[in-house]
């Protein structure tokens, strides 16, 4: 693809006329690789153009959806100039792509990457309804009380974690299924209970299982994509955005009526949440 003015690109993609494209750019509704472009900006192959959060593809282009088994030590960032061990350079995909969500640098396992900003927004908006499954190893023997308390929820990052499925697998290993994406959530949950995570692997996101070796990627199948779209569509219809913060500190009185975090010894564990895991 040769360099093409962004208004011409939108027109050739069938989105709108060039004049209408110019108006959208002036209104700040058009983004090029995550930034607002100047009028007359030209785009090259691999650039990502979005309007109101929706990725606009050339009629001859197909969106990219891949599953990647991230190794330990790789950082889920698109800022290749700052982080040398970034996920983008590691995969070295021929088109510009970006990760959906995050996976800790010290963790390994499944993560999605795409060039479709629309599906990213949908999945992240509905993240509290979608399961992510992990296999975790800790530094000392697991007890029944540890499993039970993880499953019921613990206080971290100015909130209580949601109830979740936890299953003991061995003396030091357990399986956990989350429907949240708090910053370093599993590690913080274990830390609260005086355990240290020594190994963490994500083995499932929604309907997609980890089935490739560490460091390799594959395209998502049409069946997997259809199921993801169905799940996202259903969750968008049932989630009221005004209720997304119910589990925050302001809602603790409703969810846990017998606990006052400000007076509890647990309150020392509350920290500010700045990013998702």
**Which pairing describes strands 65-70 and 108-114: parallel, antiparallel, or unpaired?**
antiparallel
Q: Mind telling me the catalytic residues?
A: 104
Three-state DSSP state, 204 = strand
CB-based contacts of 146: which residues, under 8 Å, 6+ apart? 193, 195
Tokens for 36, please give them. 């607002």
Please report how many Cα atoms fall inside a 13 Å half-sphere around the Cα of residue 256, on the Cβ side: 18
Between CA 64 and CA 86 the distance in angstroms is 19
The region that residue 161 occupies, defined by phi over 0 for left and psi between -120 and 50 for alpha, beta otherwise, is beta
Structure tokens at 59: 């009629």
The token duo for 102 is: 């995050």
């Amino acid at each position: 693809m040769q360099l093409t003015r962004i208004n011409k690109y939108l027109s050739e993609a069938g989105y709108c006329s060039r004049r209408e494209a110019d108006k959208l750019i002036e209104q700040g509704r058009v983004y090029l690789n995550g930034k607002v472009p100047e009028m007359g900006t030209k785009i090259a192959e691999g650039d990502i153009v979005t309007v109101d959060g929706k990725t606009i593809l050339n009629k001859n282009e197909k969106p990219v959806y891949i599953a990647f088994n991230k190794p330990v030590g790789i950082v889920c960032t698109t800022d290749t100039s700052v982080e040398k061990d970034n996920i983008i350079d590691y995969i070295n995909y021929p088109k510009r792509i970006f990760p959906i969500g995050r996976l800790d640098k010290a963790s390994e396992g499944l993560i999605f990457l795409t060039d479709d900003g629309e599906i990213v927004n949908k999945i992240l908006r509905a993240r509290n309804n979608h399961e992510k499954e992990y296999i975790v190893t800790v530094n000392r023997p697991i007890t029944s009380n540890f499993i039970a308390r993880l499953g019921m929820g613990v206080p971290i990052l100015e909130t209580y974690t949601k109830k979740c499925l936890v299953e003991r697998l061995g003396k030091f290993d357990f399986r956990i299924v989350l429907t949240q994406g708090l910053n370093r959530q599993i590690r913080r949950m274990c830390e609260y209970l005086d355990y240290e995570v020594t190994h963490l692997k994500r083995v499932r996101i929604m309907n997609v299982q980890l089935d490739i070796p560490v460091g390799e990627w594959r395209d998502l199948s049409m069946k997997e994509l259809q199921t993801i779209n169905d799940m996202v569509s259903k969750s968008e219809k049932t989630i009221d955005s005004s209720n997304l913060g119910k589990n925050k500190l302001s809602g603790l009185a409703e969810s846990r009526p017998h606990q006052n975090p400000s007076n509890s010894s647990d309150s020392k564990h509350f920290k500010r949440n700045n990013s998702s895991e």
